[in-house]
Structure 1
Amino acid sequence: MNSSEVIRCQYCNSNIYQCQRYCDKCGRENKSIDKGTLCTGTINGIHCSNVINPRVKFCSGCGTENSAYVSGSNSEDDLTSSTSLYREEKVNQEEKWEPTNKAYDSDTRVGEDTAHENISDLQDMENDAELNDIYAKLKKEGKMETSTYIGKKLAEAKTMNLKFAVIGRSAVGKSSFINMMLDLQPGNTYYGETGARDTTKNAYAYKHPQNENITFFDMPGFGTMEMTIEKFLSMFGSDLNTFDYFFIFIDTVIMERDVWLVEKIKGYGTPYCFVRSKLDEDIKKGRTKEEIRQKLERSIQANSTVNGSALFLISNEKSYLHTGDFRELFLHITKHLPLVKAESLSFFLPILTPEMIEQKFQALAKRIKYVAFNASFMSGILIHSLDNSFNIRICGKEIEEYYRVFLLDKDMVLHVQGVKHKKFSKNDIKQYVTTFFTNITNVEPVATVHVPTNIMTQSAFTLTGYKAISAGATVYKYARQLLIKTLMEMKEDAHTVYDHYTKLK
């Protein structure tokens, strides 16, 4: 098979080249990669990672000569039949790489060529409508207000209020479910001891330990002597329309009280689902998942009000990965929440499924332009260099989020082979970011590069406070590159953890 042939990624079905080591969209490794030589070159301190066909003389990603080159073909296709994960622009067919051992000679990169590269980067930035809004705000309101605005955009995930109602009688698994959803462990302030509270009469609020704007309410079952429907309405009726989602816990069949509640929820237009917990206990007793499902589905189908309602059978036994219908349950939740709330929830749900990993990845990827802009903004105005404390702190803090969101800080990761970012402390992250920027600074001294005013765009001129435009553009470019690289690697680490533990099931 020709290495330049386009194939489909086995995971996300997007187009990739046969020789491409990783998929550009999902970041996962191409298992059917065309066998060849791994390029040993680098792009600004980052290993190229191309797999080069033996008939390719020079790597199209970094220009390094292929030591395993086999002559015998003069096809232009062979000269460009390799790709690179982190290369953001394709090599122009009219611009051929020259065979040289000094692909990143700092003397040749300082001056007009680098200036034009940075202007090109800024023009790419200007194609984003949201970044154009930031430029306009910077020009109109100044740097302090703009910095505050960027901070608010990045804080959206932690400031979004989310309220979930978990309704059902005692002993149906509500406390265990809430502890799992909020990653609450014994000793946490809001940890719910099973059976420790009287949920027949009162509702209890449980907040996420890392984001108190996410709250799960353990609400009592009703339709009993102790909690009649009338009493339930009197105590909680005014709050029912304030929830974002309802989990209705059931046992063996759908009851009349469940039908009444669904009718109320539908009137509010609020999404909901039925949940049957403790699946692991049923299986230990000899019952099958399908047997339990069929009985409950017949009960649901028998009533026109609840017919068609989503039903999920779950077990809270396995932390972070879980069994039963958890994958389908999380898809249902995120599908029925507004996008901004679904993204916020994905930041804090301690769950690893392929769908949730992708949701986390997409939500984090949207932040990259703001983080990179923030770094370029500081560097363009305050310190015209890549390896300054502002860049290191800004990018390091975001990478800490990646590490937490993908659950790579959990003890379960320590036992998994093939995880690249394992035991990644704050100091490790700081050193990782520092090394990245220092390596680039050694070959591209940002502080000495300036752009002639006659080729400045107005928004680019504004971006850096009327000076050192090249510094801001270069920092944006490489901060973005670092974040994309790290995000993709940590996403792959999350898949590795999931694959490891699901194989043990």
Structure 2
Amino acid sequence: MSEEHIYEDPDILRELEDYVNSFQHNPLSNANKKYDEFENVTLNIAITGESGVGKSTFVNAIRGLTNEDDGAGETGVTETTMKAIRYNHPTMPNVYIWDFPGIGTPNFKAKKYLKAVHFDSYDFFIIIGSLRFTENDVMLAKAIKKMKRPFYFVRSKIDQDVHNETAKKKLTEEQVLSKIRQSCEESLKSLGNPKVFLISTFELEKYDFHDMIDSFANNLSKHKQSALIRSLPVCSLKMIEKKSIQLMIAAVPTALAACTTVAIPIPGVSVGCEIGIMQGFLQGSFSVFGHKPEVELRSMMKSRFAEGVNVDVVAKMMATPIMVVAKTFEAILCCVPLFGTAGALPIAFSTTLSLLIVGIAEMTEDAKAVYGRGLQPF
């Protein structure tokens, strides 16, 4: 999303309006609370299904990892534990992916399995199937529904099916996908034919991946939506745009939290605190886009962040003539009777937000350039 069009997005406008209204109601006390809601919200995603359907590979894929990367979940191993394995996200410490053991195996009968699941601990469940969905999958879905938790069906390994069916039976890709959807509808008709998302974990940009993510997000709070989108791998230009919008939204409470430092009466401390908050946010944004300050990518990244985010980069953003004037005006207002901190806050908020928006816009363009060269950052 280009910088000049950011305020045309309705979600960003709503968020901006909400936080501008905060200036009228104790902005100093509300700022950190609102910032914390965005930055420290937790998201717990449960991945389940029968053994061998590709759960661990899916867990790795949505964490932006291949099966061979450090920290990836083991694939193709015999499940021997009844406990779900929790995987932390590599760049989002409050996002957790839970890989459940296969339901219905000889070791884990379905009824015993359901008794062991603490449904309220998870924001939503993803039930994965490969060749077909089974009675155990339906039983699990009914149990999740009874506990009033969201669940989604994902049909994995679609790339393999398309390759095999088009080669052997001379079907088109659309014919194969239609055949798979019909099969899924038949096996899940007792649940009222819920939507099934067709996914290839090795080609996330294809098939139903984006529709699936939109469905997840629609049933989450805005803070959890933000955590979800920011945690996903850069798999398409569309995903880059989604991430950009969520970062623009998150920039609003960040700017509000940063600008409250104008209340600190010690000269220079306010600006130092503001730079620290901005640096933390921009470093997080850098990771959200999958950027890595590696030599082979620098030639494609045209922004000031090509070599990463550090104090010097952020300080230079604030050292432009316009920013120096704005910060000087803030300091003067803080000393003026009747105006004081309350008069300086709107200026600090708008200037800080504008810098964060500029940073996100530059990183967005870098991400598009890198992805356009076929080098997915993750």
Q: C-alpha offsets along residues 343-402 of structure 1, whole Å, 9 cap, x if unaligned?
A: 122222223445543443333223334333344332353355699423322222222122
Go from structure 1 to structure 2 and tell me whether the alpha carbon gap of 1:184 and 1:246 turns closer, same or farther (over 3 Å shift).
Answer: same
Please, which of 77, 85, 92 is the counterpart of residue 196 of structure 1?
Answer: 77
Secondary structure (helix, strand or coil) at the match of 1:128 reads: helix
What is the CA–CA distance in structure 1 between the aligned matches of 2:80 and 2:176, rounded to whole Å?
A: 25
Please, which of 26, 32, 39 is the counterpart of residue 134 of structure 1?
Answer: 26
Alignment-derived partner of residue 408 in structure 1: 291
Please, which of 131, 148, 158 is the counterpart of residue 252 of structure 1?
Answer: 131
Alignment-derived partner of residue 309 in structure 2: 426
What is the CA–CA distance in structure 2 between the aligned matches of 1:274 and 1:410, rounded to whole Å?
A: 37
Secondary structure (helix, strand or coil) at the match of 2:58 reads: helix
Q: Is 1:306 the equivalent of 2:191?
A: yes
- Mapped contact 2:240–2:367 kept (Cα < 8 A): yes
Same amino acid, percent of matched pairs: 26
Secondary structure (helix, strand or coil) at the match of 1:431 reads: helix
Q: Once the 2 structures are TM-superposed, how far is the Cα of residue 283 of structure 1 from its aligned partner?
A: 4.0
Alignment-derived partner of residue 93 in structure 1: none
Please, which of 275, 283, 290 is the counterpart of residue 154 of structure 2?
Answer: 275
Please, which of 23, 45, 60 is the counterpart of residue 5 of structure 2?
Answer: 23
Secondary structure (helix, strand or coil) at the match of 2:355 reads: helix
- Mapped contact 1:386–1:438 kept (Cα < 8 A): no
Q: C-alpha offsets along residues 64-103 of structure 1, whole Å, 9 cap, x if unaligned?
A: xxxxxxxxxxxxxxxxxxxxxxxxxxxxxxxxxxxxxxxx
Go from structure 1 to structure 2 and tell me whether the alpha carbon gap of 1:308 and 1:338 turns closer, same or farther (over 3 Å shift).
Answer: farther
What is the CA–CA distance in structure 1 between the aligned matches of 2:114 and 2:152, rounded to whole Å?
A: 20
Within 5 Å, give how 1:289-304 maps onto structure 2: 289-302=173-186, 303-304=188-189
TM-score normalised to structure 2 length: 0.79
Which of 378-387 and 473-482 deviates more? 378-387
Q: Once the 2 structures are TM-superposed, how far is the Cα of residue 453 of structure 1 from its aligned partner?
A: 8.8
1:243 counterpart letter in structure 2: Y
What is the CA–CA distance in structure 1 between the aligned matches of 2:290 and 2:21, rounded to whole Å?
A: 32
Q: Is 1:377 the equivalent of 2:260?
A: yes
Please, which of 476, 483, 490 is the counterpart of residue 356 of structure 2?
Answer: 483
Q: Once the 2 structures are TM-superposed, how far is the Cα of residue 22 of structure 1 from its aligned partner?
A: 4.3
What is the CA–CA distance in structure 1 between the aligned matches of 2:33 and 2:341, rounded to whole Å?
A: 21
Alignment-derived partner of residue 12 in structure 2: none
2:340 counterpart letter in structure 1: F
Q: Which protein has greater RCO, CA pairs closer than 8 Å, 6+ apart?
A: 2
Q: Once the 2 structures are TM-superposed, how far is the Cα of residue 192 of structure 1 from its aligned partner?
A: 0.8
Q: Once the 2 structures are TM-superposed, how far is the Cα of residue 177 of structure 1 from its aligned partner?
A: 0.9
Larger radius of gyration: 1
Q: Once the 2 structures are TM-superposed, how far is the Cα of residue 286 of structure 1 from its aligned partner?
A: 4.8
Q: Once the 2 structures are TM-superposed, how far is the Cα of residue 178 of structure 1 from its aligned partner?
A: 0.5
Please, which of 204, 212, 216 is the counterpart of residue 333 of structure 1?
Answer: 216
What is the CA–CA distance in structure 1 between the aligned matches of 2:180 and 2:371, rounded to whole Å?
A: 30
What is the CA–CA distance in structure 2 between the aligned matches of 1:200 and 1:442, rounded to whole Å?
A: 57
Alignment-derived partner of residue 105 in structure 1: none
Which of 438-447 and 359-368 deviates more? 438-447
- Mapped contact 2:95–2:227 kept (Cα < 8 A): no
Alignment-derived partner of residue 156 in structure 1: 37
Secondary structure (helix, strand or coil) at the match of 1:367 reads: helix
Q: C-alpha offsets along residues 195-222 of structure 1, whole Å, 9 cap, x if unaligned?
A: 2351685532222233443222222333
TM-score normalised to structure 1 length: 0.61
Unpaired runs of at least 5, structure 2: 10-15, 167-171
Go from structure 1 to structure 2 and tell me whether the alpha carbon gap of 1:177 and 1:125 turns closer, same or farther (over 3 Å shift).
Answer: closer
1:392 counterpart letter in structure 2: I
Alignment-derived partner of residue 13 in structure 2: none
- Mapped contact 2:123–2:149 kept (Cα < 8 A): yes
What is the CA–CA distance in structure 2 between the aligned matches of 1:264 and 1:443, rounded to whole Å?
A: 60
Secondary structure (helix, strand or coil) at the match of 1:315 reads: coil
- Mapped contact 2:263–2:270 kept (Cα < 8 A): no
Q: Once the 2 structures are TM-superposed, how far is the Cα of residue 175 of structure 1 from its aligned partner?
A: 0.9
1:23 counterpart letter in structure 2: H
Q: C-alpha offsets along residues 394-421 of structure 1, whole Å, 9 cap, x if unaligned?
A: 2222221221112223769818846535
Q: Which has the higher helix share?
A: 2
- Mapped contact 1:208–1:214 kept (Cα < 8 A): yes
Unpaired runs of at least 5, structure 1: 1-10, 13-20, 28-123, 139-145, 464-468
Which of 436-445 and 206-215 deviates more? 436-445
What is the CA–CA distance in structure 2 between the aligned matches of 1:443 and 1:461, rounded to whole Å?
A: 19
- Mapped contact 1:330–1:356 kept (Cα < 8 A): no
The total of aligned residue pairs comes to: 362
What is the CA–CA distance in structure 2 between the aligned matches of 1:316 and 1:297, rounded to whole Å?
A: 18
What is the CA–CA distance in structure 2 between the aligned matches of 1:150 and 1:397, rounded to whole Å?
A: 16
What is the CA–CA distance in structure 1 between the aligned matches of 2:326 and 2:95, rounded to whole Å?
A: 45
- Mapped contact 1:165–1:218 kept (Cα < 8 A): yes
- Mapped contact 2:262–2:348 kept (Cα < 8 A): yes
Secondary structure (helix, strand or coil) at the match of 2:98 reads: strand
1:349 counterpart letter in structure 2: L
1:433 counterpart letter in structure 2: V
Please, which of 300, 316, 321 is the counterpart of residue 201 of structure 2?
Answer: 316
Go from structure 1 to structure 2 and tell me whether the alpha carbon gap of 1:229 and 1:475 turns closer, same or farther (over 3 Å shift).
Answer: closer
Secondary structure (helix, strand or coil) at the match of 1:172 reads: coil
Go from structure 1 to structure 2 and tell me whether the alpha carbon gap of 1:380 and 1:157 turns closer, same or farther (over 3 Å shift).
Answer: closer
Alignment-derived partner of residue 97 in structure 1: none
Q: Once the 2 structures are TM-superposed, how far is the Cα of residue 233 of structure 1 from its aligned partner?
A: 2.5
Q: Once the 2 structures are TM-superposed, how far is the Cα of residue 322 of structure 1 from its aligned partner?
A: 3.9
1:426 counterpart letter in structure 2: V
- Mapped contact 2:244–2:360 kept (Cα < 8 A): yes
Alignment-derived partner of residue 316 in structure 2: 435
- Mapped contact 2:162–2:176 kept (Cα < 8 A): no
What is the CA–CA distance in structure 2 between the aligned matches of 1:271 and 1:192, rounded to whole Å?
A: 24
1:402 counterpart letter in structure 2: S
What is the CA–CA distance in structure 2 between the aligned matches of 1:435 and 1:180, rounded to whole Å?
A: 37
Alignment-derived partner of residue 169 in structure 2: none
What RMSD over aligned residues (CA atoms) do the two structures have, in Å?
A: 3.8
